[in-house]
Structure 1
Amino acid sequence: MSMSIGEKLKIMRESERQKSLPEVAKMLGINRDALWRYEEGKTIPNTLVITKILSHPLFEKYTLWFITGKIAPDSGQIAPVLAHYGQDSVESALSRRNVG
């Protein structure tokens, strides 16, 4: 399933437990209404805004996921759903043991 840019931005913010849109917008140096429009899919942020968001220390760990949908935990690149909740256990088909 493909996510919109707005959905990705909102998931990143919520995964970091940042509930206040005005505070996050201020922290990122962008307008609160603009951030709301991005998250709601009313407007698509330009490359400079996306770079500003993904360069922020709070969100830089999601850069690979944001662009490609992939993760590289060994390089510190994770998906937002893994930020505070960890991975779900996955059973290995070969050993029938839990991994992950």
Structure 2
Amino acid sequence: MSTPISEKLALVRESERMTKKEFAELVSVPYGTYVYYESGRNVPSTEIVMRIFNNPRLEKYALWFFTDKIAPESGQIAPVLAHFGQDETGYSASGQKTG
């Protein structure tokens, strides 16, 4: 079952660590309109969706948004992977209390 557009928009925005207002400004959509998209009250037009994923900061999510697939070798990722990967150190706490 595919994720609703409203949830996908929220995942993209949250992965970029942006507020709804910041995201709306980035993609040149009025804040109130964007809030309706993310709440599921309205569905963005094709023009708006294309504007979102033609943005250089967001284009890495386009394949996932439209098809639910990823192609990391092509730079196409899912939002949940946006802040993981190279920067991950592999460090894990021992669980022992100190002090």
TM-score using structure 2 length: 0.82
Deviating 4+ runs (over 4 angstroms): none
SS in 1 for 2:6: helix
2:15 maps to a residue whose letter is S
Q: Distance in 1 between matches of 2:50 and 2:37?
A: 14
Q: 1:98 matched to which residue of 2?
A: none
Deviation by residue 1:41-94 (Cα, 9 ceiling, x = unmatched): 0000000000000111121000000000000000000000000034xxxxxxxx
The structure with the largest alpha-carbon Rg is 2
Report the counterpart of residue 9 of structure 1 in structure 2: 9
- Which residue does 1:82 correspond to in 2? 81
Q: Give the structure 1 partner of residue 63 of structure 2.
A: 64
Q: Root-mean-square deviation (CA), in Å? A: 0.9
CA distance in 1, matches of 2:39, 2:84: 25
Alpha-carbon distance in 2 for matches of 1:45, 1:54:
12
Q: Secondary structure at the match of 1:53?
A: helix
Give the Å deviation of 1:38: 0.5
Q: Which amino acid aligns with 1:5?
A: I
- Quote the Cα distance in structure 1 between the aligned partners of 2:81 and 2:22: 23
Per the alignment, residue 42 of structure 1 pairs with 41
| Structure 1 residue matching 2:50: 3-state secondary structure | helix
TM, length-normalised to structure 1: 0.81
SS at match of 1:50: helix
Runs (5+) with no aligned partner, structure 1: 87-100
Offset at 1:26? Answer: 1.2
Number of residue pairs matched by the alignment: 85
Partner letter of residue 81 of structure 1?
A: V
